[in-house]
């Protein structure tokens, strides 16, 4: 299947998925269609000194003025600062939990033009690529619980997140997932991560929110965090 044909196929599949749900709504848990079957709650209260929030996010501009529709879709502006949607969720979790934060970044800068970034993401997915990361978590052994956040790209994890998962040892840790999406909820990402991190405990109660519902993020994240206890 050529890239153009695959893009058309995925677009049609995405439209069908979106049509089967309420357009623009946010989903807290229950949005995954995969076989992830971990517990829905952590077995003890979060210890902020032993909790880490990690995330991958690519805001397509840092200029809050005169944004294109694609740039607005990928960002949320807070006090004049442009944040990626997933980055914004990560900051709310950081604020609520007091946890440390680690941003997942690629060694090479990603393009910020929407069309170019979209094409690159699809090329990497088709090649099952593992883009090199700028850095790894230097002290992962210090944490018992790790939040992992990501946007849904082409109905899957961004390929740099696969690199991140494979280059760290999460054995014995609680893994809590959160994502942002444009209509595809969590896709099958919870099941994919659960399978890949088989020696850790992946909490099934993952959070995802639509880019169209970002104004409600703080309340939604708060309710979700409460449900994890």
pLDDT higher than threshold 80 for residue 141: yes
What's residue 21's pLDDT? 31
Q: What is the pTM of this model?
A: 0.86
Query: For residue 27, is pLDDT > 50?
Result: no
Identify the pLDDT of residue 20. 31
Task: Please give the tally of structural domains in the chain.
Answer: 1
Domain span at 186: 3-228
State the DSSP string of 178-226. EEEESS-TTTTHHHHHHHHTTTSEE-S--EEEEGGGGGGHHHHHHHHHH
- CATH at residue 106: 3.40.50.360
How far apart CA 115 and CA 58 sit, in angstroms, is 13
Between the alpha carbon of residue 29 and those of residues 41, 191, 217, the distances in Å are 11, 13, 14
137 SS3 class: coil
| Average pLDDT score over the chain | 87
């Amino acid at each position: 299947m050529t890239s153009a044909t695959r893009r058309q196929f995925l677009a049609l599949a995405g439209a069908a998925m979106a049509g089967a749900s309420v357009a623009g709504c946010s989903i807290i848990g229950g949005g995954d269609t995969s076989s992830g079957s971990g517990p829905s709650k952590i077995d003890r209260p979060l210890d902020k000194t032993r909790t880490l929030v990690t995330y991958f996010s690519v805001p397509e501009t840092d200029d809050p003025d005169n944004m294109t529709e694609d740039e607005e879709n990928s960002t949320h502006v807070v006090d004049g600062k442009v944040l990626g949607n997933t980055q914004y969720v990560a900051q709310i979790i950081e604020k609520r939990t007091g946890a440390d934060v680690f941003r997942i970044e690629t060694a090479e800068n990603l393009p910020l033009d929407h069309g170019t970034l979209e094409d690159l993401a699809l090329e990497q997915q088709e090649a099952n690529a593992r883009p090199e990361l700028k850095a790894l978590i230097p002290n992962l052994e210090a944490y018992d619980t790790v939040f992992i956040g990501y946007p849904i790209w082409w109905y899957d994890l961004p390929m740099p997140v696969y690199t991140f998962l494979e280059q760290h040892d999460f054995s014995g840790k609680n893994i809590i997932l959160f994502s942002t999406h444009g209509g595809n909820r969590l896709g099958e990402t919870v099941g994919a991560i659960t399978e890949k991190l088989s020696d850790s405990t992946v909490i099934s109660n993952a959070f995802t929110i639509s880019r169209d519902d970002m104004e409600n993020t703080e309340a939604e994240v708060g309710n979700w965090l409460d449900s994890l206890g």
